[in-house]
Structure 1
Amino acid sequence: MKLRTYFVLANAVSIAVLLICLFISYSEMLLTQAQFVWLASVTGVVGLFSVFLHFILTKPIEKSLRLLTDETRQIAAGTFNAEVPLIGPSEFQTLARQFNDMSANLQASFERIRSAEQNRRELVANVSHDLRTPLASIQSYVEALQDEVVVKDDYTFKQYLATIQLETVRLAGLIHDLFELSRLEAGAEPFEPEPCDLDSLILQKLQSVALTIEQKRLHVDVSIPDRMPPVNIMPFKIQRVFANLLENAIRHSPDGGKLTICAEPHREHFIQVSIKDEGEGIPHGQQAAIFDRFYRIDPSRSRQSGGAGLGLAIAKSIIRLHRGDIGVESEAGGGSRFWFTLPVYSKPS
């Protein structure tokens, strides 16, 4: 039995019981026949009108329930983009509104699941590709050594061993990067910040790449305020972020180009660090994906020249661990400016 039929039938039964009681009461009131007929007629008409009115007023309730039922069928079938109209009594409108919110949340959840599955497939494909190349190289050189192809040539023999060692180091680096990135994204990396002066961290890294800068004849302009407040960071992690951005800027800068490194206050209780180069720049359509895992602007670049595509993804996760932001401003042919923000250290009260 439908709910609306149940409501109307219940109303009709209650009205019928009431009419019977009224008719019995009328018969005991010593009314004339005309008075009895008149009262009975009015009571009957009022009872029928009540049943009809109940039938009309329950229609919006039935429609609301029917629409909700149809939407639950669509959700069961995997469709989440439909929306229930807000009709009927206020309680049913509230139910419909909450149902729409639930449907939207389910849609967003399944989109995230689909995206995660797609990312997982891409991750497996990229990892397989980046592992296959050095493994194939190691295998070929080992087979050559086993076949004693170069055993009589001491120079070539040492070259083969050096190549095997280099490829092994690259494999270890890729595995380490994957492990670190997985820990950062899973929230398993402990956050133990301490006060640190950014100027010393920046200068230390510049000293470590001084030879590369000299070889490319780069001009480096560093702008840091004299009284820069300390930041609340894990120095080793932030040094890795800065090193990644600096090495990328050096790699993409033309010989004789200019690097601009700047640290300045940014918003309240934050410091922004930026590195600007005069390289080829990044097309606007690719800037949103530049911090994705294994993303390369030029997919043809090998690991030797462009890395595995994990450095910026790790940098993004480290900055987020510090509750900061990271981004890039660039134009094709106009250089790039990478920046990140870090919280200022405040003494515990």
Structure 2
Amino acid sequence: MKLRLYLLIASGVSTGMILLSLFICYRYMLLNWKDVVLLSTVTVGAAGVSMLVHFVMTRPLEKAIKAITQETTHIAEGDFKGKVPLIGPLEYQRLAAQFNQMTAKLNESFGKIRSAEASRKELVAHVSHDLRTPMASIQAFVEALQDDVIADKPTFERYLQTIRLETGRLDALIQELFKLSQLDAGGTEFTPELYHVDHFLVDGLQSLAFQLEEKEMQVEVDLPERLPPVAIMPQEMKRVLANILDNAIRHSPVGGMIDIRAEHVTEQFVKLSITDQGHGIVEEDKERIFDRFYRSDPSRTRSSGGAGLGLAIAKSIVELHGGTIGVDRNKATGGGGSQFWFTLPVHQA
């Protein structure tokens, strides 16, 4: 039975009981029949008007319930984009508002699930490709060595060197995947310690000294005279700095310049900026440059472009510290090059 019909029947029964009671009262008041008929007619008319008003007033209730029912059907079919109109009494409007809020959260949650599923498929595809390439190379060189087709020692040594490099590349990829999965699963506990920014930069640059010398690059560091210590996990943040510097070195020309600047932007954060002289980042790549396995230039090979996990790991580590990370075009050189930046939390005494 529909709610509206149910309410009308309930109203009719209550009105009938009132009419019956009034009719009995009229008879026992020793009124003549003409007066009883007159009073009964007025009472019935008032009851009819009351039921008509009740019929009209319950129509918004029926529409509100019908709208919610239709929307629940859409949700059951997987459509979370609809909204229930805010009609009817205040209580029904509040119910509709809560229902719309629930639908929006469901749509957001399922959107994240679909995005995560797409990312998982993309991850599997990229990992398979990145693993297959060095594995195929290793297998081919090992088979050549086993078949004794290599007669001269220099070629033999070169094959061994290639196998060593491909094995190292596999190990680096596996370590990056392990680190990324550990960060995604929340398996890295945030245990910061006091650290000075100048020591942090010196340690990071020393680890890449060979690459800098190989490309004959210069590094200019600009630090304020007074810079507060930061609260970081040194090994994790050094990985962030190393990943960004490695990208800057890889994409900068031979003999280029890398500019590193630090500034105390707020009471809570210190900002580090690393500017290179490479080709720069196009606007449409800025939003996805920190996605795993994303390469702004699809034609880049694994040897020149890395596995595409470094910046994704860097973003996860910076966010673990409560900071932010981003990239802009290098405006100082007229648009050439990129400026990566991230924030470090200031140590609170």
Q: Which residue of 2 aligns with 1:341?
A: 343
Q: Which residue of 2 aligns with 1:323?
A: 322
CA apart distance, 1:268: 2.1
| Residue 137 (1) aligns with residue 137 (2) | yes
CA apart distance, 1:27: 0.3
**Counterpart amino acid of 1:32?**
N
Change in 2 beyond 3 A, CA 1:208/1:172: closer
Percent pairwise identity: 55
Which ranges of structure 1 fall in alignment gaps of 5 or more residues? none
Looking at structure 2, the residues matched to 15 and 61 of structure 1 have their Cα atoms a distance apart, in angstroms, of 21
**Counterpart amino acid of 1:342?**
L
CA apart distance, 1:165: 1.6
For 1:289, what is the secondary structure of its paired residue? coil
Q: Which residue of 1 aligns with 2:90?
A: 90
Q: Contact 1:330–1:336 at 8 Å: present in 2 too?
A: yes
CA apart distance, 1:203: 1.6
Looking at structure 2, the residues matched to 108 and 207 of structure 1 have their Cα atoms a distance apart, in angstroms, of 45
CA apart distance, 1:171: 0.5
- 4+ residue runs over 6 A deviation: none
Change in 2 beyond 3 A, CA 1:210/1:342: same
Which ranges of structure 2 fall in alignment gaps of 5 or more residues? none
Q: Which residue of 1 aligns with 2:193?
A: 194
CA apart distance, 1:17: 1.0
CA apart distance, 1:218: 2.6
197-206 vs 72-81, greater mean Cα deviation: 197-206
CA apart distance, 1:227: 2.4
Q: Which residue of 2 aligns with 1:162?
A: 161
Q: Contact 1:275–1:338 at 8 Å: present in 2 too?
A: yes
Looking at structure 2, the residues matched to 47 and 306 of structure 1 have their Cα atoms a distance apart, in angstroms, of 84
Q: Contact 1:219–1:259 at 8 Å: present in 2 too?
A: yes
Q: Contact 1:258–1:277 at 8 Å: present in 2 too?
A: yes
Q: Which residue of 2 aligns with 1:275?
A: 274
CA apart distance, 1:297: 1.3
Looking at structure 2, the residues matched to 166 and 65 of structure 1 have their Cα atoms a distance apart, in angstroms, of 68
CA apart distance, 1:38: 1.2
For 2:341, what is the secondary structure of its paired residue? strand
Q: Contact 1:292–1:312 at 8 Å: present in 2 too?
A: yes
For 2:323, what is the secondary structure of its paired residue? coil
| Residue 297 (1) aligns with residue 296 (2) | yes
Change in 2 beyond 3 A, CA 1:131/1:211: closer
TM-score (norm 1): 0.96
Change in 2 beyond 3 A, CA 1:137/1:287: same
Q: Which residue of 2 aligns with 1:285?
A: 284
171-180 vs 207-216, greater mean Cα deviation: 207-216
Looking at structure 2, the residues matched to 195 and 180 of structure 1 have their Cα atoms a distance apart, in angstroms, of 23
Superposition map of 1:81-230 within 5 A: 81-150=81-150, 152-230=151-229
**CA offsets per residue over residues 270-321 of structure 1, 9 Å max, x none?**
1001111111101111111100001111112122111100000000000001
**Counterpart amino acid of 2:160?**
L
CA apart distance, 1:153: 2.2
CA apart distance, 1:122: 0.7
Change in 2 beyond 3 A, CA 1:114/1:48: same
CA apart distance, 1:154: 2.2
323-332 vs 140-149, greater mean Cα deviation: 323-332
CA apart distance, 1:30: 1.0
Looking at structure 2, the residues matched to 161 and 138 of structure 1 have their Cα atoms a distance apart, in angstroms, of 9
Q: Contact 1:249–1:277 at 8 Å: present in 2 too?
A: yes
Looking at structure 1, the residues matched to 164 and 277 of structure 2 have their Cα atoms a distance apart, in angstroms, of 34
Q: Which residue of 1 aligns with 2:249?
A: 250
**CA offsets per residue over residues 20-59 of structure 1, 9 Å max, x none?**
1110111010112221111111111111211111111111
205-214 vs 22-31, greater mean Cα deviation: 205-214
Q: Contact 2:328–2:338 at 8 Å: present in 1 too?
A: yes
Looking at structure 1, the residues matched to 275 and 243 of structure 2 have their Cα atoms a distance apart, in angstroms, of 13
**Counterpart amino acid of 2:40?**
A
Q: Which residue of 2 aligns with 1:28?
A: 28
Looking at structure 2, the residues matched to 297 and 230 of structure 1 have their Cα atoms a distance apart, in angstroms, of 35
Q: Contact 1:174–1:308 at 8 Å: present in 2 too?
A: yes
**CA offsets per residue over residues 126-168 of structure 1, 9 Å max, x none?**
0011000000001101111121111x32222222222112111
Change in 2 beyond 3 A, CA 1:333/1:143: farther
Q: Which residue of 2 aligns with 1:37?
A: 37
**CA offsets per residue over residues 229-288 of structure 1, 9 Å max, x none?**
110000011111111111211221122322110011012221001111111101111111
Looking at structure 2, the residues matched to 255 and 307 of structure 1 have their Cα atoms a distance apart, in angstroms, of 19
For 1:288, what is the secondary structure of its paired residue? coil
CA apart distance, 1:211: 4.1
Change in 2 beyond 3 A, CA 1:155/1:257: closer
CA apart distance, 1:333: 5.4
* Residue correspondences, number: 346
Looking at structure 2, the residues matched to 70 and 341 of structure 1 have their Cα atoms a distance apart, in angstroms, of 48
CA apart distance, 1:207: 3.1
TM-score (norm 2): 0.96
Q: Contact 2:208–2:242 at 8 Å: present in 1 too?
A: no
Q: Which residue of 1 aligns with 2:61?
A: 61
